[in-house]
């Protein structure tokens, strides 16, 4: 009698196909209105119930709780499905008639169940072998592709191609922390309608989502969505739609958590212990690959940055005059150096202001060299020397194709100075529209390259310098007030050279020795009359003017005595009159006011204006200028 059943189910290696064949095999032998099979496939909780035929028949992949009365069934007969080595579950038939089954029917059903159990055991074993083969093939595929692919996006794309197919899931997500480690983001997503790899718009996990919990604790989570919600977790609607059961695993590498691997199913087919064990192996492979890709990305970034730094340093060597030491012993200079020594150990922003040529960059270098950042780069940029259209690219960098002529990616100065110091000279020349982005870097420590939506972070300390009156520029709406206050955390004033006359002989000797050594000259004597004239001169060009004059003097001095072309000194320093001529009191006053206005770039008002330096009110100075016929020269 059971031969027909045996013929119907034998050779069925697919479990679902075998289950579909059972109703037709039973129908010639037994009467029933519904046939169901309860199968324990190793899943946690109750065995899965398959309704194979009847009014409530569903796909064998779905779990349906038995409920005879709800479907008008009044009698049933159930027998165990026992294979030679294990019990697989139960086979049950049910009828709408009361007392529909006898002991003979039960014995017949038991005999049929023995045949079905043998075939089912074979099919389950074959399924396990096939799954084992698929799993090994996946691990091999992952290993071969991951070890040869060091690009993180490429690694994740490889994972997504195979993960969902072999792991029998409806979605698979690889989540990694963002650059500052503050948020967990979905970087690779495989579900209907999604892209394999996300770029630029990665969904963010909330703090109380399951994935964020697994990332924090390093402990796997396996369960149902309903249980997660009851436990106080949130679901992310961007990639958890219709999620019924899930498995979230940490990506562990060298005792640190790199991210998470999340798999989800829409049906109620919970992940078994066997599946979780295999998924842990997959997660370990992914973690190794992600770790390697991150390390490679960091090495490549450092290599690119080093290459940029080498180019930058080569350019600096070509332009740098190697006057790194600050020469002088005057009281005002010692005050400046004390301020530099005070602020150097901090990370505070420093604003160095003073006339052109006073040595603001030397003080900036001194602050960097005295700081904990001295082993990192000191990156400088003269904001007035860069065209306005290119200044943003110089500061923040650009991506390939960001604008016409951007044929390659370029790293900006803030990125180069990460961990070190960036010195922005002539900061008052930065356009107003770019000042907002500079303010953001100072406040948030983050920026974007031109042509990129990806936010980068920098730990660069800013030292700014200017010869402009920024407070006056703020009043004129040419400089943002909030940026001025952010720059003016620790102001340092570099005095003009005429305010430190005792330093002039030291600077003269320093520059003469330097240029004489470089030109292989033997200059041994500086006439006292020459030194006296140099000390009395106001030096409107400050140290830079003195330096250039000493270079010219060494060129003109083939013998041991220094010959300084005193006639070349700027006549503005004497108010426009030849040296040696007698001056009236009015002429001396005019010359003094003109010299002060020149030193302040003709700024009259303000804390650093000419009126404050001369010790008079703005209106009084304007009256004296009008009386003496002093007018600002046309540029």
Tell me: the pLDDT tens digits for 96-141? Answer: 999 889 999 999 989 888 888 888 888 888 777 777 677 676 666 6
Q: How many CB atoms neighbour CB 71 within 10 A?
A: 15
Domain match, 158 and 70 both: no
Residue at 32 is within a domain: yes
Q: Which residue has the higher pLDDT, 68 or 150?
A: 68
Token pair 């064990």 is found at: 277
Confidence of residue 46 (pLDDT cuts 50, 70, 90): low
| 507 Cα distance to chain centroid | 46
Residue that is last in its domain, among 459, 493, 527: 493
Count each helix (H run) and each strand (E run) in the chain, helices first. 20, 18
Q: Give the 3-state secondary structure of residue 386.
A: coil
Residues 153 and 273 in one domain: yes
In percent, the amount of the chain with pLDDT more than 70 equals 77
| 526 domain-assigned | no
CA distance 462 to 464: 6
The residue range of the domain holding 189 is: 149-296
Residue 456 phi, psi (nearest 5)? -110, 155
338 and 487, same domain (yes or no):
yes
pLDDT attached to residue 575: 45
| CATH code at position 96 | 3.30.450.40
- Least reliable range by pLDDT among 18-22, 195-199, 602-606: 195-199
395 burial (CB, 10 Å; 0-12 / 13-18 / 19+) is buried
Residue 578 lies in a domain: no
Helices (H), 148-265: 152-167, 210-217, 225-230
In a domain, 312, yes or no: no
Question: Which has more pLDDT, 424 or 125?
Answer: 424
How does 473-507 read in b/e, with b if 16+ C-beta sit within 10 Å? bbeeeebbeebbebbeebebbbbbbbbbeebbeeb
Which of 93-107, 237-251, 394-408 shows the lowest mean pLDDT across its residues? 237-251
236, 262, 296 - which closes a domain = 296
Task: Examine residue 601 and state whether it is found in any structural domain, yes or no.
Answer: no
Query: Which of the listed residues 281, 296, 311 is the one where a domain comes to its end?
Result: 296
Beta-strand relationship, 490-493 and 350-353: parallel
Q: Which residue has the tokens 């004129």?
A: 476
Q: Residue 54: is its pLDDT beyond 90?
A: no
Contact 152, 292 (CB under 8 A): no
Q: Quick one: CA dihedral 16, 19, 25, 27, positive or negative?
A: negative
340 shares its domain with 269: no
**Given this model, what pLDDT does residue 488 score?**
93
* The total number of structural domains that make up the chain: 3
Among all chains, which residue has been given the structure tokens 């829409």? 266
* Strand positions, DSSP E, 376-527: 378-382, 397-398, 410-411, 421-425, 446-448, 455-457, 461-466, 490-493
- Which 3 state secondary structure label does DSSP give 80? strand
DSSP secondary structure, 300-341, as one string: HHHHHHHHHHHHHHHHHHHH-----SPP---HHHHHHHHHHH
Question: Are 179 and 98 found together in one domain?
Answer: no
CATH number of 326's domain: 3.40.50.300
Largest CA distance in the chain: 142
Instruction: Work out the average pLDDT over 201-216.
Output: 77
The CA distance from 140 to 304, in Å, is: 33
Report the alpha-carbon distance of residue 363 to residue 492 in Å, rounded: 9
| CA–CA distances in Å: residue 37 to residues 65, 80, 81, 226, 232 | 11, 10, 9, 26, 36
Residues 345 and 475 grouped into a single domain = yes
The answer to the question of residue 626 being in a domain is: no
Closest listed residue to residue 396, CA positions, set 313, 444, 315, 452: 452
Tokens 């009256």 -> residue: 623
Same domain, 155 and 121: no
Question: Do 235 and 369 belong together in one domain?
Answer: no
Regarding whether 367 and 488 lie in a shared domain, the answer is: yes
Is there a single domain that holds both residue 72 and residue 165?
Answer: no
pLDDT, the chain, mean: 80
Question: Position of tokens 């074993």?
Answer: 125
How far is residue 131 from each of residues 224, 248, 283, 577, 632, measured CA to CA in Å? 23, 21, 17, 100, 89
If one compares 65 and 212, the residue with the highest pLDDT of the two is: 212
Range with top average pLDDT, 227-241, 370-384, 566-580 = 370-384
Residue 335 has a pLDDT of: 92
Residue 282 has pLDDT above 60, yes or no: yes
Q: Are residues 353 and 290 in the same domain?
A: no
Query: Could you tell me if 350 and 443 lie in one domain?
Result: yes
Residue 188, domain member (yes or no): yes
Contacts of residue 581, Cβ cutoff 8 Å, sequence gap at least 6? none
Structural contact between residues 109 and 77, judged by C-beta atoms closer than 8 angstroms: yes
**Lowest pLDDT segment from 158-167, 202-211, 430-439:** 158-167
Residue 466 lies in a domain: yes
CB atoms within 10 A of CB 442: 16
């Amino acid at each position: 009698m059971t031969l027909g059943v045996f013929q119907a189910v034998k050779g069925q290696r697919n479990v679902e196909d075998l289950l579909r064949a059972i109703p037709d095999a039973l129908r010639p032998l037994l009467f029933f209105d519904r046939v169901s099979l309860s199968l324990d496939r190793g899943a946690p909780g109750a065995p899965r119930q398959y309704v194979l035929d009847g009014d409530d028949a569903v796909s064998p992949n779905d779990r349906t709780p038995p409920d005879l009365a709800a479907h008008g069934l009044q009698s049933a007969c159930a027998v165990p499905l026992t294979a030679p080595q294990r019990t697989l579950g139960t086979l049950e038939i049910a009828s709408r008639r009361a007392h529909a089954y006898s002991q003979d029917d039960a014995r017949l059903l038991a005999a049929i169940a023995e045949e079905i159990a043998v075939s089912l055991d074979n099919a389950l074993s074959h399924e396990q072998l096939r799954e084992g083969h698929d799993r090994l093939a996946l691990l091999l595929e992952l290993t071969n592709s991951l070890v040869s692919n060091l690009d993180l996006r490429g690694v994740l794309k490889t994972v997504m191609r195979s993960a969902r197919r072999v792991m029998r899931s409806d979605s698979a997500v690889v989540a990694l922390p963002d650059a500052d480690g503050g948020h967990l983001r979905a970087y690779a997503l495989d579900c209907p309608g999604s892209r394999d790899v996300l770029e630029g718009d990665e969904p963010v996990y909330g703090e109380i989502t399951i994935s964020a919990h697994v990332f924090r604790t390093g402990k796997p989570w396996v369960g149902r969505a309903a249980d997660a919600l009851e436990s106080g977790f949130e679901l992310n609607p961007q990639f958890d739609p219709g999620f019924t059961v899930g498995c979230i695993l940490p990506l562990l590498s060298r005792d640190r958590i790199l991210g998470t691997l999340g798999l989800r199913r829409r049906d109620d087919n919970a992940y078994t212990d066997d599946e979780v064990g295999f998924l842990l192996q997959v997660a370990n492979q992914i973690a190794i690959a992600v770790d390697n890709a991150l390390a490679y990305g960091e090495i490549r970034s450092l290599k690119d940055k080093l290459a940029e730094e080498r180019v930058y340093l080569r350019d600096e060597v070509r332009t740098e005059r190697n006057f790194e030491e600050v020469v002088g012993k005057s009281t005002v200079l010692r005050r400046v150096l004390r301020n530099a020594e005070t602020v150097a150990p901090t990370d505070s922003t420093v604003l160095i202001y003073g006339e052109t040529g006073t040595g603001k960059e030397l003080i900036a270098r001194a602050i960097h060299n005295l700081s904990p950042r001295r082993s990192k780069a000191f990156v400088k940029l003269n904001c007035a020397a860069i065209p306005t259209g290119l200044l943003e690219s110089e500061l923040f960098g650009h991506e390939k194709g960001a604008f016409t002529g951007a044929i390659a990616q370029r790293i900006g100065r803030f990125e180069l100075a990460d961990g070190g110091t960036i010195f922005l000279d002539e900061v008052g020349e930065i356009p107003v529209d770019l000042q907002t982005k500079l303010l953001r870097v100072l406040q948030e420590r983050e920026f974007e390259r031109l042509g990129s939506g990806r936010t980068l972070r920098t730990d660069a300390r800013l030292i700014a310098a200017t010869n402009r009156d920024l407070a006056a520029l703020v009043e004129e709406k040419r400089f943002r007030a909030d940026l001025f206050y952010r720059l003016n955390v620790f102001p340092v004033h570099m005095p003009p050279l005429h305010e430190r006359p005792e330093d002039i002989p030291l600077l003269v000797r320093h520059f003469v020795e330097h240029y004489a050594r470089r030109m292989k000259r033997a200059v041994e004597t500086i006439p006292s009359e020459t030194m006296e004239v140099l000390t009395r001169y106001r030096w409107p060009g400050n140290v830079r003017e003195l330096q250039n004059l000493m270079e010219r003097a060494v060129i003109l001095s083939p013998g041991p005595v220094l010959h300084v072309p005193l006639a070349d000194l700027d006549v503005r320093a004497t108010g426009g009159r030849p040296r040696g001529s007698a001056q009236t009191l009015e002429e001396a006053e005019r010359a003094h006011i003109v010299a002060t206005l020149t030193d302040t770039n003709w700024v009259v008002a303000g804390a650093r204006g000419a009126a404050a330096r001369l010790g008079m009110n703005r209106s009084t100075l304007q009256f004296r200028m009008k009386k003496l016929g002093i007018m600002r020269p046309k540029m």
